[in-house]
Structure formats: structure tokens, C-alpha cells
Structure 1
Amino acid sequence: MSSLATAPSHTSPAGSHQALRDIAVVVSRLPADLTSLTVAASLARRYGAELDVVQVLPLPLPVADAWSFVPDPACMEWYVELREQAARQSVELQRRLDSLGVAGHVRVVESFYDAPTGVAAAAARHADLSVIARPADAPADASRAHGYFSSLLLESGRPVLMVPSATEASTLPPRHVVIAWADTSEATRAVHDAMPLLQTAETVDIVMVDPVENAIENAATFGAALSAHLGRHGVTPRVIVDKSRGRPISRIILDRASRARAQLIVAGGYGHSRMREWVIGGTTRGLFLDSPIPVLFSH
């Protein structure tokens, strides 16, 4: 392991950071939904953003009678009940939002023929950032959360902030950030999308695992180009180069984040196909499932 450029990061001049004005909070009927709302509110207060709380309501397709092909009236009654439940939940979410002291609104988006996850992604396309919770334990909850997360990441065109259920709202905006850097378009997009958070952080670590020499950088200058780019945005990072030695890259990043007492990891998401990463394993999967702190992913 080697370490370069040890100068600390600093806060950029007021008003110089990129805009973070609209934050979408996707409510997916998970135990940690209120955690993601509280964290998003903390970010909204810091950056003057407005919250768009998206409550997705999946509606089952109507069942047709075998003889008449008329939709079952019982299904129509079910729709009424589901919509009433969603309306009650919206009232509670709006009360919660008002109590947090930030501007925003709650809206119910119905999913009928389209997949709920795709509907959520479409709703997030007009925000600067989407926020979603990650449950602590239950496999069924984790599977549903991953479905929303992957659709948001791959279909919305926006960064996704994954918030573990135990996250304290006071840790965001983060004071200490770790960038999981690799020479990929996904990691590049993540750094760009995270710039408002990087510019207001106290320290920023660029962690590179098994970097490969190329026409731009050799072993003596790993991370120098990114450091220079961040420096022009008012961020002075520290570069850390690690070797995996057979260990999962996600584990090394998490260890570095723990040592730095980071409150946020910035990473590219799904450099390989979503199915390959989820079945075989990959950095995105490892960070999504195992990170004890929020991770900002971009694709």
C-alpha cells in the first residue's frame, strides 16, 4: 500500500458548489423508509433542496371471468382499499415531512401495467438525487429494496443514495468521504454527481484497489489526474492505493471507510451486468449489502 497527497480537503466558498435542489425519496414499503426520509431532509436543509417523496402503489392486474371476460368486481373493490391505504400513508408521510422542517410534497404514483421499480425510476428522472433505504435483515425486504435500487440506478439517469437502516441523519451531509475510484465511466459519473457533497466535506479519500497503468497514469502518479480535477473544484483529497491480494474489493473499500470514519462512500455502480454482479458477486453487490454507511452510486 502507498499513500500520496495527504493534504486535507476543505470547504469550498459559499455558493460555489454544484446545485442540489431536488431530492427524490422513494418509499417502497420498507422498515427503513423513514430513515431515508430523515436523511434526505438533512441534505435538503443543508443544500436548500426540495423533497419529492414518491410513494409507489402497485395495483394488481384485474382478473377476468372465464366466461364473460369482465373484470372481477372484487378486484375493483381491492383497488379502492389499496388507494385509501396509500392516501392514509401519504398523510402520515406529509406530517413527517412537515415536522422535519423542509419543503416538499408526497405523491402516490400508481403502477398498473408497468413494473413498480420502473415507475419509481421514471419518477426520479427530474431530481438531482434519489434516496432509498436498505433494510437491515429480512431477505424479502432486501430483495425488494435491491429491485428498486437497481432500476433507479440503471433507468433514472440519476445518482442513487443507498441508506442503511441504522444511519443517523446527523452524519449527512458527510464530513468524511471515501471515493471508491476506478478508471471507469461509472466511477467518473459518481464523482461528478457527488461533487456538492465532496465540496462541503472536511476530508476526502480516493481509494484505488489494484489500479492498472495506462497512457494517462503510471504507478508513480496513480490518482493524480483525479486529484487535480477535484482540486479545481475546491477539494484537496488524499490518495490511497491498495492491493486486493485476493480479497473482495468491496471489503477493502469498507475497511478504508471504517479507518477514515467516513460517513459516505462514492462509487460507480454495475460496471458489469446487473445479473452477473448479483449472482456471481461484485463491488456493487458487496457495497449494497454490507456497507454500514450510505453509499452514493452512479452508473
Structure 2
Amino acid sequence: MSATHIDAPAGSATYQGTYREITVALTGAAGDVCAVDAALDLARASGGHVRLLQLLMMPTPFVDAWSLVPDAGFSQAYDEIREAGRRAAERWREYLAAQQVPGEVQSLETQYVEPAHLATLAARCSDLIVLAMPYREPIDTATVHTYFASLLFDAGVPVLVVPSNAPASLPPHRAVVAWADTPEATRAAHDALGLLRGCTSVDVLAIRTDSAAPADDAGVEAFTRHLARHGVAAHAVSRQADDAAVADLIMQRACDSDAQLIVAGGYGHGRMREWAFGGVTRELFLSSPVPVFFSH
């Protein structure tokens, strides 16, 4: 194992407010308030604007073979859903106002389009999307993962996933970049520069999974120098692990270094394969004790 420290330019440890438009995808899960608080902290530090996306799932009218007129009961159901959504949106507006951060609540009705897809379309006018991690309940996990995958693959915007059971410390002072020589990892590190420049220390962590291969730290050290030229106080760190332990090592490094953020490329091996059989993205999404900044 090895570690290399490359000094960043003096005065680099200040938050760079490049995320002026921050969108929170409200999934209806218990962790939504954690996602909103994280977005507010970032917006407050950068003078940014927060937009909460509220998705109202409208039932599809059923027309049977004997009638071309939908059941009148649907109209009442729509009114009830809209009224519940209005009350919830008003509570969120009051919450935003109390935090004294510019923000808005955008309510979107979805009937024939998946809510996650509609949220993805709306989130493209953003610099950053914030989403709360799911709890362990299967329904909660399935719902939040649907949003996460759609936003990560199709919004064209990085996704910050925050723990649902503890407040995030943002902007971060220390971070871990999960480095691999892949397009996803490169994109994630570049998308996160606004946060990484504000950190006093950033570990660029490369994990080797082939114990038979000779150690080669040239790649991680080159990328660490690249980050340093962008004003990041970067350290190159290499570790050895089997494939199953990669996510665990990333999270352990974050804990050992007291990092408040992990930066990682999302789904480098394909979304279905990683979700079905396990992978770094899946494990970080479900289990990270600190926020994870994903790009694809």
C-alpha cells in the first residue's frame, strides 16, 4: 500500500459554489427531510437555489368494455390526491422559508409516465440532484432505487445520495474519491470539483483487486496531480482487496479519514448486473455512512 501527498495551491480550501441550482427528488420515503436539509446546507453556502420535486401519482382511469366513460370515482380520487399534495407542498414551502434559503416546490402529476422518469426530465435544469438513501424495507428500497437509476443515467446531472438516518455534514471538509481508470470515475471527480476544492484533504483511493498483478500506482498518482492543479488538496492512496471488499474498503477509508463525502462513478459494470449480483454502486447506495456523490 502507498500514499502520496500532492499539495494544492494555497487558499484552495474554500467552498466553490458551482451548484447554484439544486434539485431534491422527493420520493415519499422517510429520509426526504435529510435530502432537503443537505440541499439547504449546500445552497446556503453557495448562495444557491433549492427546488423540491413533488410527484403526485394519479391512478389511471379504467374503462371497461361496456362503457367509454371512466368511473366517476376517479375524479374524487384525483381531487383527494391533489389536496394532499397541496398540503404537503405548503408544509415544505414553510420549511424552506424558515431556513431562509431561496427555494420552491414544484408539483408534477404523473398518470401515464413513471414518476422517476418525470422527475428526471424536470431535474435536467439543475447543477446537482439530491436524493435520500432508502431504509432497509424492500418497498422503500425499490422505490428510491428506481429514482436513483433514472436520475443517474438520464438526467445528465450528478446525484448526491445522503443517509436517511443522520444529518449530513455539508459542504465537506474531507473527502474520499473512489478512483478507477474508468469514464464514470473520471466524470464523478470532475463533477465534484466544486466540493473537492473546498476540502482541506482529499484521498484519491485506488483499490487493486488482482493480487497477482504488479502494483502500478502511476494512474492514481497522475490523476491526483491533475486534481491538485484544480486546487484540490489531494493525496494518492492505494489499497489491495478482493472484488467483494471494494465498497467496504471505500467506506472504511471514509471513516478512518473522518471524511464527510465519497465521490464515485456510478454503475461502471451496468445497472442490472450490479443491482442483481452486487457491486460497488449498489453497496455504497445502500450502506454508506456518509453522502456519496455519483456521476455516470
TM-score scaled to structure 1, two decimals? 0.93
1:177-235 Cα shifts (integer Å, max 9, x gaps): 000011111111101111110011111000101178xxxxx825231221121111111
- Confirm or deny that 1:4 pairs with 2:4: yes
Distance change (3 Å), C-alpha of 1:60 and 1:10: farther
Displacement after TM superposition at 1:268 (Å) = 0.2
Could you tell me whether the CA contact under 8 Å between 1:176 and 1:204 is conserved in 2? yes
> Residue type matched to 2:122 in 1?
A
In structure 1, C-alpha distance between the alignment counterparts of 2:241 and 2:93, rounded to whole Å: 46
State the match for 2:135 in structure 1. 136
> Residue type matched to 1:132 in 2?
L
Of residues 256, 279, 293 in structure 1, which corresponds to 2:290? 293
Distance change (3 Å), C-alpha of 1:46 and 1:11: farther
Q: Which one is further off, 109-118 or 133-142? A: 133-142
1:8-42 Cα shifts (integer Å, max 9, x gaps): 89752768x46211000111111011111011100
State the match for 1:183 in structure 2. 181
Could you tell me whether the CA contact under 8 Å between 1:211 and 1:222 is conserved in 2? no
Distance change (3 Å), C-alpha of 1:51 and 1:155: same
In structure 2, C-alpha distance between the alignment counterparts of 1:9 and 1:286, rounded to whole Å: 34
State the match for 2:71 in structure 1. 72
In structure 2, C-alpha distance between the alignment counterparts of 1:185 and 1:18, rounded to whole Å: 24
3-state SS, counterpart of residue 136 of structure 1:
coil
Displacement after TM superposition at 1:69 (Å) = 2.2
Distance change (3 Å), C-alpha of 1:82 and 1:10: farther
What is the CA RMSD across the aligned residues, in angstroms?
Answer: 1.9
Q: Which one is further off, 253-262 or 5-14? A: 5-14
Could you tell me whether the CA contact under 8 Å between 2:132 and 2:164 is conserved in 1? yes
Unaligned runs of 5+ in 2: none
Could you tell me whether the CA contact under 8 Å between 2:120 and 2:151 is conserved in 1? yes
Q: Which one is further off, 129-138 or 259-268? A: 129-138
State the match for 1:209 in structure 2. 207
> Residue type matched to 1:164 in 2?
P
1:66-93 Cα shifts (integer Å, max 9, x gaps): 3012111111211111011101100000
In structure 2, C-alpha distance between the alignment counterparts of 1:77 and 1:145, rounded to whole Å: 28
Displacement after TM superposition at 1:65 (Å) = 3.1
Give the number of equivalent residue pairs.
292
Displacement after TM superposition at 1:272 (Å) = 1.7
Of residues 266, 274, 277 in structure 1, which corresponds to 2:274? 277
3-state SS, counterpart of residue 218 of structure 2:
coil
1:45-65 Cα shifts (integer Å, max 9, x gaps): 111110011001111211113
Distance change (3 Å), C-alpha of 1:151 and 1:10: farther
Displacement after TM superposition at 1:139 (Å) = 2.0
Distance change (3 Å), C-alpha of 1:82 and 1:9: farther
In structure 2, C-alpha distance between the alignment counterparts of 1:252 and 1:62, rounded to whole Å: 50
- Confirm or deny that 1:157 pairs with 2:156: yes
State the match for 1:250 in structure 2. 247
Could you tell me whether the CA contact under 8 Å between 1:56 and 1:109 is conserved in 2? yes
Could you tell me whether the CA contact under 8 Å between 2:8 and 2:229 is conserved in 1? no
In structure 2, C-alpha distance between the alignment counterparts of 1:18 and 1:88, rounded to whole Å: 32
TM-score scaled to structure 2, two decimals? 0.93
Distance change (3 Å), C-alpha of 1:278 and 1:113: same
